[in-house]
Amino acid sequence: MELISLTLHELQRKLQSKEVHPREVIEALETRITQVEPKVQALLHRNLEEALRLADQADVSLPLGGLPIAIKDAIHVQGAPCTCASKILSTYRAPYDATVIARLKAAGAIPFSRTNMDEFAMGSSNENSAFHATNNPWDLTRTPGGSSGGSAAAVASREAYAALGSDTGGSIRQPAALCGCVGLKPTYGRVSRYGLIAFASSLDQIGPLARSTRDCAMILNAIAGKDAKDSTSLDVPAEDFTRELELGMKGLRIGIPKEYFIEGIDPQVLSAVEKGIQQCRELGAELVEVSLPHTKYAVGVYYILATAEASANLACFDGVRYGIRASDPKNLLDHYQRTREEGFGCEVKRRIILGTYVLSSGYYDAYYIRAQKVRTLIRRDFNKAFQHVDALVCPTSPDVAFRLGERLDDPLRMYLADIFTIATNLAGICGISVPCGFATVEGSRLPVGLQFLGNALEETKLLRIANAYELAAGWRSQVALI
């Protein structure tokens, strides 16, 4: 098998058996990137010399020894650009490693390449990047999803074996579905956010995208755990998330939330998802219909809370301490206004304005406080459901990859791309998207994602279920022929 087509765990075996040297792996990736990156445009930056240096020093006996992993450009890697795909940070270089990067390095991994994204993680198509859009490897005229679209496209096009992304409302799972790879959003607090440039602090969570569920489990083993630098990280015992992968799903109860099967889902997506659910039954799972009655409020609640937090978090980007700054300002107010006007893109400005509005005097109680109350009701819906089932199953996205530019002038339609992923972040639970088939649209064969949702801190069980489905379904062998 061609070296770049291996999964992370297959590559690990070759490195540990000395069949392959880490330098060969980096060189193979660089050759692949040179071939396809002009078409896919998944990356913003890479440092080949540094990657080769780390490869020559790699200890392949470590859990991730010698394995290269691409990094979303919102996560600090010391000395590397960290632009968040925004003009305002185009000159910024990370002065330290994020905790997840320090832990990857401690496990022997090699951070290699910075992946494109929607600016400040605000978007569902990767078109909000200040530098360029990323193209879906299955059809270069279509979006890879967002905001971690560069990470998903890099994995799907074999420019990366695996990547880190961040998920605020579906930004790992939705692009994983649209690009035909696996994407895991861990429980809120399972993985430190220290060193992740914040979008919405109560929703953001770092997680892996990869070619298999096992690969995601391997990465989660390395990056999970309490971090004194992040007060929201959970102090829970360390786990081996690979330990139950082979147990299958026989005897488990999987809930089908009726609110996630609604009008407007692409018929081919619905057909693929229903076949995936039937396969779960054939694997021995008991399927149970459940209700999450407050799901209909999730999108509205999310775009109040997320924009409110974004408004506060992005106030620090003022051109004083780092990033670009307006030239020859008349005064301090002019400096702030022009720096932010010139540095932020349209979608970021839209969300800052909306967030500032819902936090303003006279509207705080009517919007922000009410949204927090409904968020509690959404969390209770999940808690009630998980008293009766081990996991939930539903579509990841209502559509396959849509055409680039198709929704840029229709923000509401764009926001609805995350309708099945947002509630997971509001509730703080874990979720994973795995490939479950294809739809044919205008002659293009496009991936469909099946989403499993697990209760808080039940990643081990969630990964077990996803792995059982993945191995039985066999979709992992399908690759984009770019």
Which residues carry out catalysis? Answer: 72, 147, 171
Residues 211, 162 contacting (CB under 8 angstroms): yes
Strands across the sheet with 286-290, in order?
43-45, 110-115, 68-72, 162-166, 206-210, 182-185, 430-441, 444-454, 391-395, 253-257, 286-290
Distance CA 226, CA 190 (A): 7
Distance CA 397, CA 392 (A): 15
Length of the chain: 482
Q: If we measure between CA atoms, which residue out of 74, 72, 90, 73 comes closest to residue 343?
A: 90
Q: Which H or E element spans position 310?
A: helix 298-313
440 bridge partner residues: 445
Distance CA 1, CA 448 (A): 25
Distance CA 30, CA 46 (A): 10
Q: Where are the beta strands (DSSP E) in 321-421?
A: 391-395
Q: At CA 477, angle to CA 182 and CA 418, rounded to 5?
A: 30
The secondary structure of 34-52, three-state, reads HHHHHHHCCEEECCHHHHH
Sign of the dihedral through C-alpha 211, 213, 215, 220: positive
Q: Kindly state the tokens that stand for 210.
A: 């990869």
